[in-house]
Amino acid sequence: MYSLDELSGVLEKALANLNLPEDPKNLYKPIQYILSAGGKRIRPVLTLAACNMFKETIDQAIYPALAVEVFHNFTLVHDDIMDNADIRRGKETVHKKWNNNVAILSGDAMTILAYKLLVKTDKQFIAPILEVFNEFSMGVCEGQQYDMDYESMKYVTQDEYTRMIELKTAVLLKGALQIGAIIGEAKENDINEIGLFGINIGIAFQLQDDLLDVYGDSKVFGKKKGGDIVANKKTILTIKAFNNAKGSTLEKLTNLYQSTTIDTELKVSETIKIFDDTNVKEETELLISNYYLKAMESVEKIDISPARKEALSSLAQKIMIRNS
């Protein structure tokens, strides 16, 4: 069995050996830039960890893990354009460093690169992992569309929001895990359970992202504080605040999200005050804990020895205590 650190080392070495063409520079340099910008590499490490849970050798999972990481970074490049984000992982976003057209085309190239990497595994695994890859790829697009739709909606329910983040974030973790399990030749029930783990830990992960956007250290988190508030995103905090706020507080919150002229720093600070007054931080932390417990219930149901689940459990715990 590999430790998490060892799996991370395998992945980083594989990324370092991912030789991209030199030209055209404005196509491939942005790809090199986003892939070398760091990040937690949670998704590809999950692919390797899931494979290693069922099989000692992880060689056949390395290229699919790289495919997962390249695809994930493609979504970040295009998300940052749509969100008009300036900072990603503490560095300029691709579209700010170059321009929108370069970022769009480099992102498109990354999707093709992801498929090229995915099919470099053993032929017996290609069909089932392609099915999983295509499913989460379309899910991510659907989730992003819901996310954009919600920006112009006055109210979004918690159920609607949960479905959106399941598509936009959690299905990718689910798919990363299931691809690893398929290559590890896991039983069908175990592939299903590891997928459920991915869904629940993925929802917990995104809810935590919502918290960190407001209550995290922007220098550590790598994004501007309150970016979701400025963008009028309906996060779990916003949804709970609208549900909990009454009277003048609700009226003030509504005005903050409807105003097009308010100073952005004032909007962020005033909204956070309302979040504090309506206890949304505490409620969100409880919700995150509940999804984490659901995820760990699925881990318990996987039919392998507890020792072989250690890496997955450890990674889940790291996700839960992260600050970036």
pLDDT category at 232 given cuts 50, 70, 90 is confident
> Structural domain tally of the chain?
1
How far is 200 from 112, CA to CA, in rounded Å?
Answer: 29
Q: How confident is the model at residue 312 (pLDDT cuts 50, 70, 90)?
A: confident
pLDDT the model gives residue 309: 92
Banded model confidence at residue 140, pLDDT cuts 50, 70, 90: very high
Residue 6 and residue 296: Cα distance in Å, rounded?
A: 23
Mean pLDDT of 80-96: 90
Which among 286, 296, 290, 298 is positioned nearest to 317, based on CA atoms? 296
Phi, psi of 92 (to 5 degrees): -55, 140
* Residue 305 structural domain: 4-320
- Total residues belonging to the chain: 324
Nearest to 29 by CA among 112, 84, 102: 102
pTM of this prediction?
0.90
- pLDDT score of 224 more than 80: no
Does the pLDDT of residue 323 top 90, yes or no?
A: no
> Six-digit token pair at 265?
């720093």
pLDDT at residue 154, as a whole number: 81
The values of phi and psi at residue 252, to 5°, are: -65, -45
Task: Name the token pair of 1.
Answer: 């069995």
**pLDDT single digits (tens) 142-165:** 999 998 898 788 889 999 999 999
DSSP class of 260: S
Please tell me the distance from the alpha carbon of residue 142 to that of residue 170, in angstroms, as a whole number: 12
Domain harbouring 111, CATH code: 1.10.600.10
Give how far the C-alpha of residue 208 lies from the chain's centroid of Cα atoms, to the nearest Å: 11
pLDDT, average across residues 15-33: 95
- Spatial separation of the C-alpha atoms in residues 312 and 143, rounded to whole Å: 25
Rounded to whole angstroms, the Cα distance separating 201 from 150 reads 23
Whether the pLDDT of residue 28 is over 90: the answer is yes
